[in-house]
Amino acid sequence: MRITENMRYGSLIDSLSRAQGSYGSLMEQMASQKKINRPSDDPVGTTRVLDFRGVRDTIAQYGRNIENADAWLKLSETKLENISDLIGKAREAGINDQSSRTRQVLAQNVGSLLEEILSLANSKFGDRRLFAGSRTGEAPFGRIILPVARSANAFDGSVFSAGTYTGTADKTYTVRIATGGAPGAATCELSEDGGATWSTAAAVPASGIVSLGDGLTLRFGDDGTADLAAGDLFYVNASAGGRTTDARVEAPRAAANNTFAGAVALDPSSGRYGGDRNRTYVVKFVNGGGAVGEADYRVSADGGRTWGAVQTASWGSTITVDGTAGHEQVLRFTASGAADGFAENDLFYVNAFAPGVYGGNGEDLSVSTGQGSRMVYNVTGEEAFTDRGRGAVDLFAALESLKTALEQGDRQGVIDQVGRLTAAQDSIRQYVAESGARRNSLEISRENYRVLDDKVAGLTSATEDVDLERLVVEFKMKETALQASYAMSVQIGRMSILDYLR
Protein backbone atom coordinates (compact mmCIF):
# COMPACT_ATOMS: atom_id res chain seq x y z
CA MET A 1 0.00 0.00 0.00
CA ARG A 2 1.37 3.39 -0.94
CA ILE A 3 1.88 5.79 1.98
CA THR A 4 1.09 9.25 0.73
CA GLU A 5 2.40 12.47 2.20
CA ASN A 6 -1.16 13.37 3.29
CA MET A 7 -1.49 10.15 5.23
CA ARG A 8 1.88 10.70 6.86
CA TYR A 9 1.05 14.22 7.96
CA GLY A 10 -2.44 13.17 9.09
CA SER A 11 -0.99 10.45 11.29
CA LEU A 12 1.55 12.90 12.66
CA ILE A 13 -1.08 15.52 13.53
CA ASP A 14 -3.34 12.90 15.13
CA SER A 15 -0.55 11.60 17.34
CA LEU A 16 0.42 15.12 18.38
CA SER A 17 -3.24 15.95 19.19
CA ARG A 18 -3.54 12.89 21.45
CA ALA A 19 -0.31 13.77 23.23
CA GLN A 20 -1.43 17.37 23.70
CA GLY A 21 -4.86 16.25 24.94
CA SER A 22 -3.31 13.94 27.52
CA TYR A 23 -0.90 16.70 28.54
CA GLY A 24 -3.77 19.23 28.80
CA SER A 25 -5.86 16.82 30.89
CA LEU A 26 -3.00 16.36 33.35
CA MET A 27 -2.48 20.13 33.47
CA GLU A 28 -6.20 20.62 34.28
CA GLN A 29 -6.00 18.01 37.03
CA MET A 30 -2.94 19.75 38.50
CA ALA A 31 -4.77 23.09 38.48
CA SER A 32 -7.98 21.73 40.09
CA GLN A 33 -6.35 18.85 41.98
CA LYS A 34 -9.42 16.82 41.01
CA LYS A 35 -9.54 13.65 38.92
CA ILE A 36 -13.15 14.40 37.98
CA ASN A 37 -13.65 17.84 36.49
CA ARG A 38 -16.71 16.96 34.41
CA PRO A 39 -19.13 14.01 34.49
CA SER A 40 -17.64 12.52 31.33
CA ASP A 41 -14.28 12.10 33.08
CA ASP A 42 -15.73 9.29 35.25
CA PRO A 43 -19.52 8.76 35.17
CA VAL A 44 -19.48 6.14 37.93
CA GLY A 45 -17.19 8.24 40.11
CA THR A 46 -19.37 11.30 39.50
CA THR A 47 -22.42 9.43 40.80
CA ARG A 48 -20.55 8.41 43.94
CA VAL A 49 -19.29 11.96 44.53
CA LEU A 50 -22.83 13.38 44.19
CA ASP A 51 -24.10 10.80 46.68
CA PHE A 52 -21.34 11.68 49.13
CA ARG A 53 -22.09 15.39 48.77
CA GLY A 54 -25.77 14.72 49.49
CA VAL A 55 -24.80 12.89 52.67
CA ARG A 56 -22.53 15.75 53.74
CA ASP A 57 -25.29 18.30 53.06
CA THR A 58 -27.64 16.28 55.28
CA ILE A 59 -25.00 16.08 58.01
CA ALA A 60 -24.50 19.85 57.76
CA GLN A 61 -28.25 20.44 58.17
CA TYR A 62 -28.39 18.20 61.22
CA GLY A 63 -25.39 20.10 62.56
CA ARG A 64 -27.18 23.44 62.14
CA ASN A 65 -30.26 22.00 63.87
CA ILE A 66 -28.10 20.81 66.75
CA GLU A 67 -26.32 24.17 67.06
CA ASN A 68 -29.60 26.10 67.18
CA ALA A 69 -31.18 23.70 69.68
CA ASP A 70 -28.05 23.78 71.85
CA ALA A 71 -28.03 27.59 71.87
CA TRP A 72 -31.74 27.64 72.83
CA LEU A 73 -31.16 25.12 75.64
CA LYS A 74 -28.11 26.98 76.91
CA LEU A 75 -30.03 30.26 77.15
CA SER A 76 -33.04 28.52 78.74
CA GLU A 77 -30.76 26.88 81.27
CA THR A 78 -29.21 30.24 82.17
CA LYS A 79 -32.60 31.95 82.57
CA LEU A 80 -33.96 29.10 84.70
CA GLU A 81 -30.89 29.23 86.95
CA ASN A 82 -31.39 32.99 87.37
CA ILE A 83 -35.06 32.45 88.26
CA SER A 84 -34.09 29.75 90.76
CA ASP A 85 -31.68 32.19 92.44
CA LEU A 86 -34.41 34.84 92.66
CA ILE A 87 -36.85 32.33 94.16
CA GLY A 88 -34.21 31.59 96.79
CA LYS A 89 -34.07 35.29 97.68
CA ALA A 90 -37.87 35.41 97.93
CA ARG A 91 -37.84 32.39 100.27
CA GLU A 92 -35.36 34.14 102.55
CA ALA A 93 -37.94 36.88 103.10
CA GLY A 94 -40.23 34.50 104.97
CA ILE A 95 -37.82 32.27 106.87
CA ASN A 96 -37.49 34.29 110.10
CA ASP A 97 -39.87 36.39 112.19
CA GLN A 98 -39.78 40.12 111.44
CA SER A 99 -41.25 43.29 112.81
CA SER A 100 -44.23 44.89 111.15
CA ARG A 101 -42.06 47.54 109.48
CA THR A 102 -39.57 44.96 108.26
CA ARG A 103 -42.36 42.85 106.78
CA GLN A 104 -43.51 45.77 104.65
CA VAL A 105 -40.00 46.24 103.30
CA LEU A 106 -39.71 42.51 102.59
CA ALA A 107 -43.09 42.55 100.84
CA GLN A 108 -41.80 45.30 98.56
CA ASN A 109 -38.67 43.25 97.89
CA VAL A 110 -40.79 40.21 96.99
CA GLY A 111 -42.77 42.42 94.61
CA SER A 112 -39.53 43.52 92.95
CA LEU A 113 -38.32 39.91 92.69
CA LEU A 114 -41.64 38.95 91.15
CA GLU A 115 -41.16 41.59 88.43
CA GLU A 116 -37.62 40.34 87.75
CA ILE A 117 -38.84 36.76 87.47
CA LEU A 118 -41.66 37.92 85.19
CA SER A 119 -39.11 39.58 82.91
CA LEU A 120 -36.96 36.43 82.80
CA ALA A 121 -40.02 34.26 82.10
CA ASN A 122 -40.68 36.46 79.03
CA SER A 123 -37.08 36.13 77.75
CA LYS A 124 -36.38 35.86 74.02
CA PHE A 125 -34.04 33.87 71.83
CA GLY A 126 -33.70 36.22 68.90
CA ASP A 127 -37.29 37.28 68.29
CA ARG A 128 -38.84 34.11 69.76
CA ARG A 129 -40.04 33.67 73.35
CA LEU A 130 -38.19 30.94 75.24
CA PHE A 131 -40.99 29.76 77.52
CA ALA A 132 -44.14 30.31 75.41
CA GLY A 133 -44.46 26.78 74.01
CA SER A 134 -45.15 26.97 70.28
CA ARG A 135 -46.67 30.48 70.57
CA THR A 136 -43.19 31.96 70.39
CA GLY A 137 -44.36 35.28 68.99
CA GLU A 138 -46.34 36.16 72.12
CA ALA A 139 -45.12 37.13 75.60
CA PRO A 140 -46.25 34.18 77.77
CA PHE A 141 -46.73 36.30 80.93
CA GLY A 142 -48.24 39.76 81.18
CA ARG A 143 -48.60 42.10 84.14
CA ILE A 144 -50.11 39.99 86.86
CA ILE A 145 -53.58 40.12 88.35
CA LEU A 146 -53.95 37.15 90.67
CA PRO A 147 -56.45 36.69 93.50
CA VAL A 148 -54.94 35.59 96.80
CA ALA A 149 -56.96 33.78 99.46
CA ARG A 150 -55.87 34.15 103.09
CA SER A 151 -54.58 30.82 104.37
CA ALA A 152 -56.94 30.92 107.39
CA ASN A 153 -60.06 31.10 105.20
CA ALA A 154 -62.74 28.46 105.61
CA PHE A 155 -63.66 28.60 101.91
CA ASP A 156 -61.57 26.04 99.99
CA GLY A 157 -62.94 26.44 96.47
CA SER A 158 -61.13 28.05 93.57
CA VAL A 159 -60.94 31.81 93.16
CA PHE A 160 -60.27 33.62 89.87
CA SER A 161 -59.95 37.24 88.90
CA ALA A 162 -60.96 38.32 85.42
CA GLY A 163 -61.12 41.35 83.21
CA THR A 164 -58.52 43.89 82.14
CA TYR A 165 -57.59 46.44 84.77
CA THR A 166 -58.36 49.96 83.55
CA GLY A 167 -57.01 51.88 86.53
CA THR A 168 -54.08 54.26 86.16
CA ALA A 169 -52.20 53.18 89.30
CA ASP A 170 -51.39 49.91 91.05
CA LYS A 171 -54.05 48.98 93.60
CA THR A 172 -54.87 46.16 96.03
CA TYR A 173 -58.53 45.16 96.32
CA THR A 174 -59.66 43.31 99.45
CA VAL A 175 -62.91 41.33 99.59
CA ARG A 176 -64.18 40.38 103.08
CA ILE A 177 -67.07 37.98 103.57
CA ALA A 178 -69.58 39.61 105.93
CA THR A 179 -72.19 36.83 106.06
CA GLY A 180 -71.25 33.26 105.29
CA GLY A 181 -72.96 30.87 102.95
CA ALA A 182 -72.93 29.70 99.36
CA PRO A 183 -72.90 32.22 96.49
CA GLY A 184 -76.39 33.72 96.33
CA ALA A 185 -76.73 33.67 100.13
CA ALA A 186 -73.40 35.11 101.39
CA THR A 187 -72.61 38.84 101.53
CA CYS A 188 -69.29 40.62 101.17
CA GLU A 189 -67.60 44.01 101.65
CA LEU A 190 -64.99 45.63 99.44
CA SER A 191 -61.97 47.78 100.32
CA GLU A 192 -59.67 49.58 97.89
CA ASP A 193 -57.28 51.02 100.49
CA GLY A 194 -55.89 47.96 102.24
CA GLY A 195 -58.80 47.60 104.68
CA ALA A 196 -58.90 51.16 106.05
CA THR A 197 -62.43 51.66 104.75
CA TRP A 198 -65.08 49.21 103.58
CA SER A 199 -68.09 49.38 101.30
CA THR A 200 -71.58 48.46 102.45
CA ALA A 201 -72.15 44.72 102.54
CA ALA A 202 -73.71 43.39 99.33
CA ALA A 203 -74.85 39.95 98.24
CA VAL A 204 -72.46 37.59 96.52
CA PRO A 205 -74.38 36.74 93.31
CA ALA A 206 -75.39 33.15 92.66
CA SER A 207 -72.89 33.14 89.78
CA GLY A 208 -70.13 33.71 92.33
CA ILE A 209 -68.89 36.76 90.40
CA VAL A 210 -68.23 39.91 92.46
CA SER A 211 -67.49 43.17 90.63
CA LEU A 212 -64.41 44.98 91.95
CA GLY A 213 -64.60 47.95 89.60
CA ASP A 214 -62.04 49.26 87.10
CA GLY A 215 -62.86 46.38 84.77
CA LEU A 216 -62.11 43.58 87.26
CA THR A 217 -64.21 40.83 88.80
CA LEU A 218 -63.57 38.16 91.41
CA ARG A 219 -65.21 34.79 90.85
CA PHE A 220 -65.71 32.07 93.48
CA GLY A 221 -65.76 28.53 92.08
CA ASP A 222 -68.05 25.74 93.27
CA ASP A 223 -65.35 23.07 93.33
CA GLY A 224 -64.64 23.15 97.09
CA THR A 225 -66.17 21.42 100.09
CA ALA A 226 -66.72 24.44 102.36
CA ASP A 227 -68.90 27.51 101.75
CA LEU A 228 -67.80 31.09 102.22
CA ALA A 229 -67.50 31.99 105.92
CA ALA A 230 -67.72 35.33 107.70
CA GLY A 231 -64.25 36.87 107.93
CA ASP A 232 -62.81 35.10 104.88
CA LEU A 233 -60.45 37.51 103.08
CA PHE A 234 -59.41 37.65 99.41
CA TYR A 235 -56.93 40.02 97.81
CA VAL A 236 -56.40 41.12 94.21
CA ASN A 237 -53.21 43.05 93.40
CA ALA A 238 -53.97 44.95 90.20
CA SER A 239 -51.15 46.47 88.14
CA ALA A 240 -51.75 49.29 85.70
CA GLY A 241 -51.91 47.75 82.24
CA GLY A 242 -52.81 44.31 83.65
CA ARG A 243 -54.32 41.47 81.67
CA THR A 244 -57.19 39.08 82.08
CA THR A 245 -56.58 35.88 84.02
CA ASP A 246 -59.93 34.16 83.52
CA ALA A 247 -60.64 31.43 80.99
CA ARG A 248 -60.90 32.89 77.49
CA VAL A 249 -60.85 31.99 73.81
CA GLU A 250 -59.25 34.20 71.18
CA ALA A 251 -61.03 34.98 67.95
CA PRO A 252 -60.27 32.23 65.41
CA ARG A 253 -57.93 33.02 62.56
CA ALA A 254 -57.47 31.57 59.09
CA ALA A 255 -54.15 30.56 57.53
CA ALA A 256 -52.82 33.13 55.08
CA ASN A 257 -52.87 30.79 52.06
CA ASN A 258 -56.39 29.42 52.53
CA THR A 259 -58.66 29.16 49.52
CA PHE A 260 -61.79 29.83 51.58
CA ALA A 261 -62.26 33.61 51.60
CA GLY A 262 -65.29 33.83 53.86
CA ALA A 263 -65.48 34.80 57.52
CA VAL A 264 -64.89 32.55 60.53
CA ALA A 265 -65.92 33.43 64.09
CA LEU A 266 -66.88 31.81 67.37
CA ASP A 267 -70.51 30.86 67.40
CA PRO A 268 -72.49 32.90 69.98
CA SER A 269 -73.61 29.62 71.54
CA SER A 270 -70.02 28.75 72.52
CA GLY A 271 -69.55 28.37 76.24
CA ARG A 272 -66.78 29.46 78.55
CA TYR A 273 -63.61 27.44 77.90
CA GLY A 274 -63.45 24.65 80.45
CA GLY A 275 -60.04 23.09 79.74
CA ASP A 276 -57.37 22.86 82.40
CA ARG A 277 -54.52 23.75 80.02
CA ASN A 278 -53.94 26.29 77.27
CA ARG A 279 -54.54 24.74 73.87
CA THR A 280 -54.29 25.63 70.20
CA TYR A 281 -57.08 23.97 68.25
CA VAL A 282 -56.62 23.51 64.50
CA VAL A 283 -59.28 22.64 61.91
CA LYS A 284 -57.93 21.20 58.64
CA PHE A 285 -60.06 20.39 55.62
CA VAL A 286 -59.12 17.12 53.95
CA ASN A 287 -60.82 17.46 50.60
CA GLY A 288 -61.34 20.33 48.22
CA GLY A 289 -64.10 22.02 46.32
CA GLY A 290 -66.71 21.72 49.02
CA ALA A 291 -68.98 24.52 50.09
CA VAL A 292 -69.94 25.04 53.72
CA GLY A 293 -71.56 21.82 54.87
CA GLU A 294 -70.06 19.69 52.09
CA ALA A 295 -66.32 19.36 52.88
CA ASP A 296 -64.75 16.92 55.33
CA TYR A 297 -62.34 18.03 58.04
CA ARG A 298 -60.22 16.95 61.00
CA VAL A 299 -59.60 18.68 64.34
CA SER A 300 -56.36 18.83 66.33
CA ALA A 301 -56.27 19.82 70.01
CA ASP A 302 -52.49 20.16 70.19
CA GLY A 303 -51.56 22.67 67.53
CA GLY A 304 -51.51 20.18 64.66
CA ARG A 305 -49.21 17.47 66.03
CA THR A 306 -51.99 14.87 66.15
CA TRP A 307 -55.35 14.79 64.43
CA GLY A 308 -58.76 13.36 65.16
CA ALA A 309 -60.80 11.24 62.82
CA VAL A 310 -62.25 12.64 59.59
CA GLN A 311 -65.62 14.25 60.35
CA THR A 312 -68.50 13.83 57.97
CA ALA A 313 -70.23 16.78 56.36
CA SER A 314 -73.22 16.76 58.70
CA TRP A 315 -72.36 19.85 60.69
CA GLY A 316 -73.91 22.47 58.46
CA SER A 317 -72.09 25.80 58.75
CA THR A 318 -70.48 25.15 62.16
CA ILE A 319 -67.65 23.01 63.53
CA THR A 320 -67.24 22.02 67.17
CA VAL A 321 -63.55 22.05 68.10
CA ASP A 322 -64.10 21.25 71.79
CA GLY A 323 -67.17 19.21 72.59
CA THR A 324 -66.87 19.20 76.40
CA ALA A 325 -70.41 19.41 77.76
CA GLY A 326 -71.21 22.95 78.85
CA HIS A 327 -67.94 24.31 77.42
CA GLU A 328 -68.37 23.68 73.69
CA GLN A 329 -66.26 25.85 71.40
CA VAL A 330 -68.00 26.16 68.03
CA LEU A 331 -66.74 27.84 64.85
CA ARG A 332 -69.23 29.38 62.43
CA PHE A 333 -68.28 29.93 58.78
CA THR A 334 -69.90 32.48 56.51
CA ALA A 335 -69.24 32.28 52.76
CA SER A 336 -68.26 35.50 51.00
CA GLY A 337 -70.10 34.46 47.86
CA ALA A 338 -72.05 31.66 46.24
CA ALA A 339 -68.88 30.09 44.78
CA ASP A 340 -66.90 30.25 48.00
CA GLY A 341 -65.81 26.85 49.25
CA PHE A 342 -63.09 25.02 51.15
CA ALA A 343 -59.98 23.57 49.58
CA GLU A 344 -57.83 20.70 50.74
CA ASN A 345 -55.47 21.77 53.57
CA ASP A 346 -57.37 24.98 54.42
CA LEU A 347 -56.47 25.65 58.07
CA PHE A 348 -58.18 27.56 60.90
CA TYR A 349 -56.70 28.15 64.38
CA VAL A 350 -58.31 28.80 67.78
CA ASN A 351 -56.28 29.61 70.91
CA ALA A 352 -58.06 28.71 74.18
CA PHE A 353 -56.71 29.69 77.60
CA ALA A 354 -57.44 28.17 81.00
CA PRO A 355 -57.67 30.52 84.01
CA GLY A 356 -54.30 32.00 85.00
CA VAL A 357 -51.72 34.44 83.77
CA TYR A 358 -49.95 32.11 81.33
CA GLY A 359 -50.50 33.16 77.71
CA GLY A 360 -48.41 30.54 75.91
CA ASN A 361 -49.30 26.89 75.46
CA GLY A 362 -47.98 23.52 76.54
CA GLU A 363 -46.69 22.40 73.15
CA ASP A 364 -43.11 21.24 72.67
CA LEU A 365 -40.62 22.52 70.12
CA SER A 366 -38.58 19.75 68.52
CA VAL A 367 -35.83 19.52 65.94
CA SER A 368 -34.63 16.71 63.70
CA THR A 369 -31.26 15.38 64.86
CA GLY A 370 -31.15 12.35 62.57
CA GLN A 371 -33.24 10.24 60.25
CA GLY A 372 -36.40 9.44 62.19
CA SER A 373 -35.01 11.10 65.33
CA ARG A 374 -36.29 14.32 66.91
CA MET A 375 -35.39 16.05 70.16
CA VAL A 376 -37.52 18.42 72.25
CA TYR A 377 -35.42 21.47 73.08
CA ASN A 378 -37.74 23.82 74.94
CA VAL A 379 -39.19 24.13 78.43
CA THR A 380 -42.68 25.62 78.42
CA GLY A 381 -43.72 28.25 80.91
CA GLU A 382 -46.78 26.11 81.61
CA GLU A 383 -44.72 23.29 83.12
CA ALA A 384 -41.97 25.45 84.64
CA PHE A 385 -43.99 28.26 86.23
CA THR A 386 -47.59 27.02 86.65
CA ASP A 387 -49.31 24.06 88.27
CA ARG A 388 -50.62 22.63 85.00
CA GLY A 389 -49.32 19.66 83.05
CA ARG A 390 -46.04 18.57 84.64
CA GLY A 391 -45.96 21.77 86.71
CA ALA A 392 -46.24 21.43 90.48
CA VAL A 393 -46.59 25.03 91.71
CA ASP A 394 -48.04 28.24 90.29
CA LEU A 395 -44.91 30.30 90.88
CA PHE A 396 -46.45 33.72 90.38
CA ALA A 397 -49.45 32.90 92.57
CA ALA A 398 -47.06 31.77 95.32
CA LEU A 399 -45.05 34.99 95.05
CA GLU A 400 -48.21 37.12 95.10
CA SER A 401 -49.47 35.18 98.11
CA LEU A 402 -46.14 35.59 99.92
CA LYS A 403 -46.19 39.32 99.26
CA THR A 404 -49.75 39.63 100.56
CA ALA A 405 -49.05 37.44 103.62
CA LEU A 406 -46.08 39.65 104.54
CA GLU A 407 -48.16 42.79 104.12
CA GLN A 408 -50.97 41.35 106.27
CA GLY A 409 -48.68 39.85 108.93
CA ASP A 410 -50.07 36.38 108.19
CA ARG A 411 -47.26 34.23 109.60
CA GLN A 412 -48.86 30.91 108.67
CA GLY A 413 -49.48 32.19 105.15
CA VAL A 414 -45.80 33.13 104.87
CA ILE A 415 -44.75 29.65 106.00
CA ASP A 416 -47.12 28.02 103.51
CA GLN A 417 -45.79 30.08 100.60
CA VAL A 418 -42.17 29.44 101.55
CA GLY A 419 -42.97 25.73 101.24
CA ARG A 420 -44.56 26.27 97.83
CA LEU A 421 -41.58 28.31 96.64
CA THR A 422 -39.25 25.54 97.80
CA ALA A 423 -41.19 23.08 95.66
CA ALA A 424 -41.14 25.53 92.73
CA GLN A 425 -37.38 25.98 93.07
CA ASP A 426 -36.84 22.22 93.14
CA SER A 427 -38.98 21.85 90.02
CA ILE A 428 -37.03 24.54 88.15
CA ARG A 429 -33.74 22.92 89.15
CA GLN A 430 -35.07 19.70 87.65
CA TYR A 431 -35.69 21.48 84.35
CA VAL A 432 -32.18 22.93 84.49
CA ALA A 433 -30.85 19.39 84.89
CA GLU A 434 -33.01 18.15 82.01
CA SER A 435 -31.73 20.96 79.80
CA GLY A 436 -28.18 19.98 80.68
CA ALA A 437 -28.89 16.33 79.84
CA ARG A 438 -30.37 17.32 76.47
CA ARG A 439 -27.30 19.45 75.73
CA ASN A 440 -25.06 16.47 76.53
CA SER A 441 -27.10 14.34 74.14
CA LEU A 442 -26.77 16.98 71.45
CA GLU A 443 -23.01 17.13 72.01
CA ILE A 444 -22.76 13.36 71.51
CA SER A 445 -24.76 13.65 68.27
CA ARG A 446 -22.60 16.56 67.13
CA GLU A 447 -19.39 14.56 67.73
CA ASN A 448 -20.82 11.52 65.94
CA TYR A 449 -21.70 13.65 62.93
CA ARG A 450 -18.23 15.22 62.96
CA VAL A 451 -16.63 11.76 62.76
CA LEU A 452 -19.10 10.65 60.06
CA ASP A 453 -18.47 13.81 58.05
CA ASP A 454 -14.71 13.21 58.20
CA LYS A 455 -15.18 9.66 56.91
CA VAL A 456 -17.48 10.74 54.07
CA ALA A 457 -15.08 13.56 53.22
CA GLY A 458 -12.30 10.93 53.01
CA LEU A 459 -14.36 8.76 50.67
CA THR A 460 -15.16 11.79 48.52
CA SER A 461 -11.51 12.74 48.38
CA ALA A 462 -10.46 9.21 47.45
CA THR A 463 -12.95 9.27 44.57
CA GLU A 464 -12.34 12.70 43.06
CA ASP A 465 -9.02 14.06 44.37
CA VAL A 466 -5.73 13.36 42.60
CA ASP A 467 -2.55 11.81 44.00
CA LEU A 468 -0.47 14.94 43.55
CA GLU A 469 2.94 13.22 43.74
CA ARG A 470 1.97 10.63 41.13
CA LEU A 471 0.39 13.33 38.99
CA VAL A 472 3.53 15.47 39.00
CA VAL A 473 5.68 12.53 37.89
CA GLU A 474 3.19 11.59 35.19
CA PHE A 475 2.95 15.21 34.09
CA LYS A 476 6.72 15.53 33.71
CA MET A 477 6.81 12.30 31.71
CA LYS A 478 4.05 13.56 29.41
CA GLU A 479 5.81 16.90 29.08
CA THR A 480 9.08 15.21 28.07
CA ALA A 481 7.28 12.93 25.64
CA LEU A 482 5.42 15.86 24.10
CA GLN A 483 8.63 17.86 23.66
CA ALA A 484 10.26 14.82 21.99
CA SER A 485 7.22 14.48 19.77
CA TYR A 486 7.52 18.12 18.72
CA ALA A 487 11.21 17.64 17.88
CA MET A 488 10.53 14.44 15.93
CA SER A 489 7.68 16.12 14.10
CA VAL A 490 10.01 18.90 12.98
CA GLN A 491 12.50 16.35 11.65
CA ILE A 492 9.86 14.32 9.89
CA GLY A 493 8.39 17.48 8.39
CA ARG A 494 11.71 18.31 6.76
CA MET A 495 12.05 14.95 5.00
CA SER A 496 11.50 14.89 1.21
CA ILE A 497 12.39 12.73 -1.84
CA LEU A 498 15.55 14.77 -2.26
CA ASP A 499 16.77 13.71 1.21
CA TYR A 500 16.19 10.08 0.14
CA LEU A 501 18.06 10.53 -3.15
CA ARG A 502 21.06 11.99 -1.32
The CATH code of the domain that includes 395 is 1.20.1330.10
Helices (H) and strands (E) in the chain, counts: 8, 20
Q: Are 235 and 294 in a shared domain?
A: no
The answer to the question of residue 361 being in a domain is no
Q: Are 348 and 252 in a shared domain?
A: yes
The answer to the question of residue 166 being in a domain is yes
Q: Are 389 and 350 in a shared domain?
A: no
Q: Are 278 and 200 in a shared domain?
A: no
Q: Are 237 and 276 in a shared domain?
A: no
Instruction: Give the Cα separation of 166 and 429 in Å (integer).
Output: 37
Domain coverage including residue 296: 248-354
The answer to the question of residue 452 being in a domain is yes
Q: Tell me what pLDDT residue 24 has.
A: 61
Single pTM value for the model: 0.72
Q: Are 376 and 456 in a shared domain?
A: yes
Instruction: Give the Cα separation of 165 and 178 in Å (integer).
Output: 25
The answer to the question of residue 84 being in a domain is yes
349 bridge partner residues? 253, 282
Q: Are 413 and 460 in a shared domain?
A: yes
The answer to the question of residue 273 being in a domain is yes
Q: Are 52 and 63 in a shared domain?
A: yes
Q: What three-state secondary structure class fits 345? A: coil
Q: Tell me what pLDDT residue 473 has.
A: 62
Q: Are 442 and 459 in a shared domain?
A: yes
Question: Roughly what angle, to the nearest 10 degrees, separates helices 43-92 and 395-408?
Answer: 10
Q: Tell me what pLDDT residue 125 has.
A: 93
Q: Are 348 and 383 in a shared domain?
A: no
DSSP symbol at 305 = S
Q: 29: which residues sit within 8 A by CB, 6+ positions away?
A: 35, 37, 466, 471
Segment-wise mean pLDDT, segments of 10 residues, the chain, 502 residues: 61 64 64 66 76 88 93 95 94 76 82 89 92 88 74 85 74 92 94 88 92 87 88 83 68 89 85 82 80 77 88 70 82 76 88 83 88 90 87 86 82 88 94 94 93 87 68 65 62 57 56
- Boundary (domain end) residue, out of 295, 323, 354: 354
Q: Are 413 and 443 in a shared domain?
A: yes
SS (H, E, C) 360-402: CCCCCCEEEEECCEEEECCCCHHHHHCCCCCCCCCHHHHHHHH
Q: Are 324 and 378 in a shared domain?
A: no
Rounded (5°) CA angle 72-78-84: 130
- Boundary (domain end) residue, out of 231, 246, 261: 246
Q: Tell me what pLDDT residue 275 has.
A: 81
Query: How many structural domains comprise the chain?
Result: 4
The answer to the question of residue 359 being in a domain is no
Instruction: Give the Cα separation of 109 and 103 in Å (integer).
Output: 10
The answer to the question of residue 46 being in a domain is yes
CA 329 to chain CA centroid, Å, is: 25
Instruction: Give the Cα separation of 130 and 381 in Å (integer).
Output: 8
Instruction: Give the Cα separation of 311 and 2 in Å (integer).
Output: 91
